[in-house]
Amino acid sequence: MPTTSHFLLMVLYAFLVSLVFAVLLRDKPLEQLKTGGMMFGGFVGVAYVLGWLMFPFPL
Amino acid sequence: MGSKSTTAERPRAAAEPGRLAVVTVLAWLIPGAGHLLQGRRQKGLIFLVALPLMFTLGLWLEGRLFPLELSDPLVFLGALANRGIGAPYIIARFMDAGSGTVTAASYEYGNTFLMTAGLLNFLVILDAFDVALGRK
């Protein structure tokens, strides 16, 4: 049975999308690392903050 | 503004239509192959690993490969996104994978992984096309 950890799946998704975008947009490895890291941090950070902001609201 | 690498600075002759077609079709069929064919090894290898991995994760998460149904525009767009990944999609279809389990907790995640893998490969194809044209 696949994992049901939403956080883990979100982190995995953010990592793969950031990786592909960073490699597409930048040519030098160092720049790719920087862009990918910023993108990954942005994805996870924004999702984490939005998750907590939605916490008080019932479905 | 992205800075250019030594490979990007190297002047390249614009590809002939035949070669352009080969690069484009190969880039669709095997993610990263368009870059590998043009000597962009690092990029090609990363795409070759990351995109099929993303697609496989989508199948593992019990996502669905949508049929091309014009009656439902959202399903149709999802189906186009699914097909963007090329050979992994064809292999999955042959293996009867991707039927999707709507009741699975990971179903929507699976769909997202499957569609994103295909859409990212469309971007990779465009990049390979630009490289072949000598724009990058």
Query: Over its length of 59 residues, how does chain A's per-residue pLDDT go in tens digits?
Result: 677 788 999 999 999 999 999 999 999 999 999 999 999 999 999 999 998 999 888 76
Range of the domain at A30: 25-52
The number of distinct structural domains making up chain A is 1
Q: What is the DSSP letter of A57?
A: S
* Neighbour count for residue B122 (Cβ, 10 Å): 16
pTM of the entire predicted model: 0.87
CB contact under 8 A, A26 and B2: yes
Interface mutation vs chain A, best among B45, B57, B59, most A CBs within 10 Å: B57
Q: pLDDT truncated to tens, each residue of chain B (136 aa)?
A: 444 444 444 545 566 888 889 999 999 999 999 999 999 999 999 999 999 999 999 999 999 999 998 888 899 999 999 999 999 999 999 999 988 889 988 899 999 999 999 999 999 999 999 999 888 7
Cα separation, B61 vs B109, in Å, equals 7
Q: How many CA atoms lie within 13 A of B115 on its CB side?
A: 18
A27 in reach of chain B (CB within 8 A): yes
Is A44 inside a domain boundary?
yes
Are residues B105 and A4, on separate chains, in Cβ contact within 8 Å? yes
